[in-house]
Structure 1
Amino acid sequence: MEKEAKEKRDELLDSLSKGLALLQLFASEGASLTIQDVAEKLDVTRAAARRLLHTLLHHGYVVQEGKAFWVTPKVIELGYAYFAAMDLPTLSRNPMRILAEQLNETCSLAVLDSSSIVLIAREEPKQMVRLDMTVGRRMPAYAHSLGRALLAFLDTERWEAYLANTELKKLTQFTICTRSGLERKLAQVRAENYSLLISEMVDGLAGLSVPLRERDGRVIASLGVSMVLGSRTEKQIIKQCLPALRETAGRIEALLHAMRK
C-alpha cells in the first residue's frame, strides 16, 4: 500500500498542487495576501510564492496593489461553467425527447469550450436518417447554429479571446469565416434570439438553435435541432421548428431555475 501511495504521489504535479493550495488560501483568508503571507502559510520560499502569485496575476485571477494581492471574480469562471451545466443533461432529457419526436428531428444541447462547442445531451426521433452527432463530440462554434447561439452573447473580452485562438476555416462554399461577416450574423442572433445555419458546416445540413439562460440572464448553453435540408427554405424551417424549440427551451430553463433556488 505504501509503495502504491508513493507511486501516486510521484505522478502529482507539484506546481499545480501549490497553485490550488494558493486559491484555497485566498478562499479561507477572504482578504489580501502578500508574498510573505503566502510563503509562510504554504511553507514555500519567497521566490516560489512570488512565482505562484505572478502566475495567477498573469492569467487575471488576482490583482496587485502595492505588496498586496487580491483575488478577482475571474476565479468563479474556473467552476461556474461546469456547475451551471452539470444538471442540464438530466433536466433536459424529457423535454428534448418530446421535441425530437414532435419535430421528427435530432435535438442537441451544447456548451462552449474554448473554440468549440461540446454536445452534452442528444435526443433523436425514431427515424431512418441519423445524424453523426454523439454526446461529447466537438464542433467549430463559428460554423454551427449551437455555437453561434453561444458566441453571440460573449462579452467583448471573451469574444476577442475566441478570435485570437480560433482559425476560421471555410468548411463549405457557404461558410461565413470572416470576422466582419460573423459579427454581423452574431448581432442578428442577439436581436432575434435564435441562430439558423444552412450548409455552413456540412453541405445539405441545417441547424436552428436558441440560447439557454441562468436565472441572472447569463447564457450557459444552447439548444438546437439539426436536420437534412432537403427542399425546405429558411422561412419554412423557422415556421416549423422555432416555436416548439423556444417552448422547449423555456421549459428547460424553468426546471433549471427551480433547481437553483
Structure 2
Amino acid sequence: MSSKTETVQSFARGLDVLRSFGGERRRQTITDVAERTGMTRAAARRFLYTLCEQGFARTDGKYFELTPAVLEISHAYLSSVSELESIRDILHDLTRELDESASAAMLDGSDIIYVARSPARHRIMTIGLAVGTRLPAHATSMGQILLAQLSHNELERFFSRTKLEALTDRTITDKEVLKERLRQVRAQGYVVVSEELELGLRAISVLVEGRSPTRLALNISAQAARVSEAQMIEAYLPPLRRAARQIQLSIQQ
C-alpha cells in the first residue's frame, strides 16, 4: 500500500497551522493564518479553534497565539536525543572561546530547524533564535551545508517543492546558481554565507559526519561588518571543525 494512502490530510494541515506561527508571528488573526497556509478562512478558523480546545492555542477573540503546551509535542523527541546535552556543552565552549553565537540544526523539508544553540552576549539578528526555530535552508549556512549532502534525487525533490525566496538582495534565488554553490560546498566541506538571510549577518557552517540519514550541521555567526569571510575561515573554521569532531565522537560512544 502506498504511504500516500496512509496519510491523514487534515492532520497535515493542522501541522501547517502550527508551523505558521514563529518568532515574528507570535500572534495571528484567522486571515493571517489562512494566507500563510493557503487555506480558506473557514478552514483556518476550524483548525485554530480546535487547537484552542485542545489547549495548544488561545485567543482574545481576534488574535491567536500558541501556548506552552505545544512543547509537549517536541518534548518526546528532544528527550529521546540523549546527545543533545553534549552538543549544547560543546556549543557553549565554542561561544566562550570565540565570543560568537554557535548553533546546531537539522534539515526538515525546505527548512532547517534549530536543535541546540549557544547565543553570544551581543545580539546579531533582528529575530530571536531558539531551539525549534525554523529558517529557510537555501538562505542559511547550515541549510546549504546540509543541502550539499543530499543525493541528486533528494535535491531535485527539494527544488520541486521549495520557492527560493529572496530574503535580501544577496539571497541566491536561481536554482542553477544554488546547485553550483552546493557542489562547491560539498567539495570544500564548509560554507560561508554572507547576508543572504539577513543584512549584516555572516555565518560559517560545517557538517557533523556520521549522522546520516539524520544529518546535523554546526555554525558560528557574527556581524558581517566586524568579521570578514577570510577571518571566519582563518579563525573560526578550525575550532568549528574541532567541535564537529567532538560531537561526532560523543554520538558514537
Q: Does 1:225 align with 2:234?
A: no
Note the C-alpha offset of 1:240.
Answer: 1.3
Give aligned pairs, total. 180
Q: How does 1:151-230 map to 2 (within 5 A)?
A: 151-214=147-210, 220-230=215-225
1:27-84 alpha-carbon deviations (Å, 9 max, x no partner): xxxxxxxxxxxxxxxxxxxxxxxxxx2x33879xxxxxxxxxxxxxxxxxxxxxx79x
Note the C-alpha offset of 1:233.
Answer: 2.0
1:164-216 alpha-carbon deviations (Å, 9 max, x no partner): 1100111111111111111111011111111110000101101111011227x
What does residue 107 of structure 2 align with? 112
Distance in 2, Cα, partners of 1:243 & 1:112: 23
Q: How does 1:53-202 map to 2 (within 5 A)?
A: 53=1, 55-56=2-3, 86-125=81-120, 127-129=121-123, 131=125, 132-202=128-198
Structure 1 residues 192 and 58: CA distance shift in structure 2, 3 A: farther
| Secondary structure class of the residue paired with 2:215 | strand
CA contact (8 A) 2:167 2:196 kept: yes
Q: Which has the larger radius of gyration?
A: 1
Structure 1 residues 252 and 192: CA distance shift in structure 2, 3 A: same
Distance in 1, Cα, partners of 2:233 & 2:183: 18
TM-score of the superposition, structure 2-length normalised? 0.66
What does residue 240 of structure 1 align with? 235
CA contact (8 A) 1:214 1:253 kept: yes
Paired-residue identity, %: 31
TM-score of the superposition, structure 1-length normalised? 0.64
Deviates more, 1:226-235 or 1:153-162: 226-235
CA contact (8 A) 2:124 2:201 kept: no
Note the C-alpha offset of 1:130.
Answer: 5.2
| Secondary structure class of the residue paired with 2:192 | strand
